[in-house]
Structure 1
């Protein structure tokens, strides 16, 4: 058998449309009558699309000056400061803000020719963003080559599928000239949410194909061996191996291959070759609203204050736990009582309360959780020499920060101030780049729970009023005047309004 290699074709330097795309040609292609409502709408949409490109170019132009070289480790605080300022201004996360700054720098500095086409409205915004994503792994020299080639295309007239095909060819031609990343460098394990808040997540294991296939085969072999032993034990009436929850003995059938593969990964101990793994610093909190726990409401619970869990799943989890922790808060403020100012470290109860009310880093735009890698921070600095002078260790003066942002605050790159109403005003940069105020998260009650409790109370008052009217004979008199009232159909508020205007209140 002969092996053949074919060199990747050099991408075309001339990418042209058959005819220019203008307002007139657009109407002709769509067989629309000039002056009609459809023709006017199509023309407006075409112009809006090009204006959107020009607007996006201006947006990138404003963002580009916030770029700071990522190669210099001494500028890490400057990069974080600017990312935080942009995150607050754009109402996004710090990670997204850093990505947009990088995108703006790449567009304006590294690929100026296509940026000019974007500014002129010739290159659609989505095309430009697709191009920037595609060149992310290329070298600066390759990006310059891609920029030069694409800028020469007939971007104002070629169709979208032609642009995508030509872009793929250019990127493939550039990538073949550079050695690809070593597969061993791609090893990673990440947690991915389903994106639907349905209580489901995935553990993604990435690595070289031989290693991943070997892991899958070992997992399959282990699950088949356990399943075989379970089947033999059922046939012989012997103790059932790996029957972790007693389901096999109860149902009289072996666990499925999928269930066994999951259980082997999830329920067995991880071997760290003698390295001691420290115990978790905090318990994992699954916060379940009391009405949900009682089955009177289906408001989702939260896993560590961040990840929603369906009501049924949270009740099932509660059934298996031997110990529950009740969280009591002040009915007005939802806070614990303050500690004396002379104490620097907050109590364990205060830390748990902070973790419940601040499940993510308190810095605006930060998405890092506060279970691990986070620290308790005094908003007004604690005075170690004269504790009575300020910076008390109280919930009014505490929040949880990711350790990186805690260092950032210590370096005075950010300055939080707790306002009298419990909100926090954040100033980023010195001199200030941006200032924003974040409202407090006072308690653990959700608006849905509050609404359910209010509705239940109003319904109780309505029933009480009806019972009192029956005892006083008012209900009988109303029925004689108005006829029978079907309380399942009649609006209680309307009936109450008529009753209050037409009769004297019975109480």
Structure 2
């Protein structure tokens, strides 16, 4: 008896072998050349438009080649996970400064460059030759980012075989989406329990709104939603009884229920339940907050004379009306004294190693984010006070002073980088900071000082307000001693708000009076 073996179908893995995507012939209907491009766009050969189209086509190919060269440069900064953390921080900081971006984006760019060259070399060759548009290559890297290295290698082989120089953009996107979908379907499914997360998301507009997104397994999220709904209905019923009986209303966040005589909506009550319920930590002791959360409100906004936004902890903008409402609800306000034009800290405290609480508060206002260039981490908790010029513990008078001019707030990772002498900040006489990153140096940049940007506006507005106040006092004095009445008799009635606004066809008496005031003002 003879045994035979059947060839496995495409996309089906044999024992011990990973599955491969089904082979697809991805070919354009016609090659994309300069002539075919003109024909597709119905552009007349030899015209100015034809020359412009040819330049655009060549510029796009040169952009792909330039992108490949940049990826080669970025890949040189790749550090394996097993290597020291400080070197990765150093490289991300240097690349972020060079590319004028944040350190987190720089780290991602370095990772993508390593993926492109080490794990997807065939596709990278198509990019370097100018055959694959830069935007397509970046889209592919993003789409394949969550796959395993082996899956990316498989995808690289398939994408590189496509007719990249001639494919239409929509066809490329469709094929890429189908390829990624196959990997997600054929690969191991992620465990829903591993997706548990709570994240804050801003609305994208400075409207004072944010979202707390809770992610987890469907049964847990549905169970949480049902408990919230049941609780909200119970509280709504209790609010209704409280209104009928005239007793205190539970969960009345803003006092609207008692004032309007109607219960809160279920949506508002779900929020109120979450907002006012204590977090259960199963006996784990939660440390008290290290810092007060600051809502920084410009003084004119607080006075209702301006609508400059406030900031929540120096980072998140808050609308002026919301800031005034928050200030009104607080029994205690804290002031930080600064010089009116420069925003400098006043008064300077005595020299010592540890900054005073007032200095730390002021530093958090100056540096709401880590002072390292491009770092976006906030300095509320995961940050440390750092002497720019090192403090000399044995001879304090010979080292860097403990003063606002010699201090800044750094995220602990960048503080470790400075302590290891892989980043060296120097405070310049004008208040800017020059950073040298790398040992040996990789890059140097100077960061302008962060002032209280609202201070010059506030000073100018207060000055204008004071001058207007003095003018009003002068006018009142003139009215009391009869000077205004004399001027009106001699010069005639005039609306000074409309001075100079009269033209042909206007009231002749008013126009003549305005002209007299313009030629020879009485004061």
TM-score range, shorter chain: 0.7 to 0.9
Q: Spell out, residue by residue over 1:270-320, the C-alpha distance to the aligned partner (whole angstroms, 9 max, x if none).
A: 111122211111111111111111111110001011111001110111111
Q: Spell out, residue by residue over 1:150-200, the C-alpha distance to the aligned partner (whole angstroms, 9 max, x if none).
A: 111111111111111111222222333421211111111111111112111
Where 2:125 maps in the other structure, the secondary structure is helix
Change (3 A) 1:339 1:446: closer
Matched, 1:395 2:404: yes
Given that 2:337 and 2:347 are in contact with CA atoms closer than 8 Å, whether structure 1 keeps it comes out as no
Matched, 1:14 2:31: no
Q: Which residue of 1 aligns with 2:275?
A: 266
Given that 1:357 and 1:444 are in contact with CA atoms closer than 8 Å, whether structure 2 keeps it comes out as no
Match of 1:404 among 413, 418, 440: 413
Q: Which residue of 1 aligns with 2:506?
A: none
Change (3 A) 1:488 1:399: farther
CA distance in 1, matches of 2:310, 2:220: 38
Matched, 1:432 2:441: yes
Q: Which residue of 1 aligns with 2:110?
A: 101
How far apart are 1:406 and its partner, in Å? Answer: 1.5
Higher mean C-alpha deviation, range 52-61 or range 438-447? 438-447
Matched, 1:422 2:431: yes
Q: Structure 1 length normalisation: TM-score?
A: 0.88
Q: Which residue of 1 aligns with 2:85?
A: 76
Match of 1:256 among 255, 265, 271: 265
* Superposition pairs of residues 7-406 of structure 1, within 5 angstroms: 10-70=21-81, 72=82, 74-333=83-342, 334-341=344-351, 343-406=352-415
Q: Spell out, residue by residue over 1:239-261, the C-alpha distance to the aligned partner (whole angstroms, 9 max, x if none).
A: 53333443222211111001100
Given that 1:335 and 1:442 are in contact with CA atoms closer than 8 Å, whether structure 2 keeps it comes out as no
CA distance in 1, matches of 2:98, 2:201: 28
Given that 2:341 and 2:455 are in contact with CA atoms closer than 8 Å, whether structure 1 keeps it comes out as no
Change (3 A) 1:60 1:279: same
* Superposition pairs of residues 436-475 of structure 1, within 5 angstroms: 436-443=445-452, 445-446=454-455, 448-449=457-458, 452-453=461-462
CA distance in 2, matches of 1:245, 1:25: 67
Q: Spell out, residue by residue over 1:95-127, the C-alpha distance to the aligned partner (whole angstroms, 9 max, x if none).
A: 000011111111122111111111222211111
CA distance in 2, matches of 1:261, 1:39: 62
Where 2:317 maps in the other structure, the secondary structure is strand
CA distance in 2, matches of 1:198, 1:449: 22
CA distance in 2, matches of 1:467, 1:61: 75
Higher mean C-alpha deviation, range 444-453 or range 29-38? 444-453
Given that 1:11 and 1:166 are in contact with CA atoms closer than 8 Å, whether structure 2 keeps it comes out as no
Given that 2:299 and 2:458 are in contact with CA atoms closer than 8 Å, whether structure 1 keeps it comes out as no
Where 1:385 maps in the other structure, the secondary structure is coil
What is the aligned residue count?
490
CA distance in 2, matches of 1:25, 1:241: 73
Where 2:84 maps in the other structure, the secondary structure is helix
Unaligned runs of 5+ in 1: 1-6, 492-497
Change (3 A) 1:229 1:331: closer
Higher mean C-alpha deviation, range 230-239 or range 378-387? 230-239
How far apart are 1:338 and its partner, in Å? Answer: 3.0
CA distance in 2, matches of 1:20, 1:468: 87
CA distance in 1, matches of 2:131, 2:455: 48
Q: Which residue of 2 aligns with 1:494?
A: none
Root-mean-square deviation (CA, aligned residues, Å) is 3.3
CA distance in 1, matches of 2:46, 2:474: 66
Where 2:72 maps in the other structure, the secondary structure is helix
Change (3 A) 1:463 1:229: closer
Q: Structure 2 length normalisation: TM-score?
A: 0.85
CA distance in 2, matches of 1:447, 1:260: 43
Change (3 A) 1:48 1:218: same
Higher mean C-alpha deviation, range 204-213 or range 235-244? 235-244
Higher mean C-alpha deviation, range 438-447 or range 310-319? 438-447
CA distance in 2, matches of 1:238, 1:466: 55
CA distance in 2, matches of 1:236, 1:457: 53
Larger radius of gyration: 2
Unaligned runs of 5+ in 2: 1-10, 13-19, 502-514
Change (3 A) 1:242 1:306: closer
Change (3 A) 1:179 1:161: same
CA distance in 2, matches of 1:21, 1:276: 66
Change (3 A) 1:236 1:467: closer
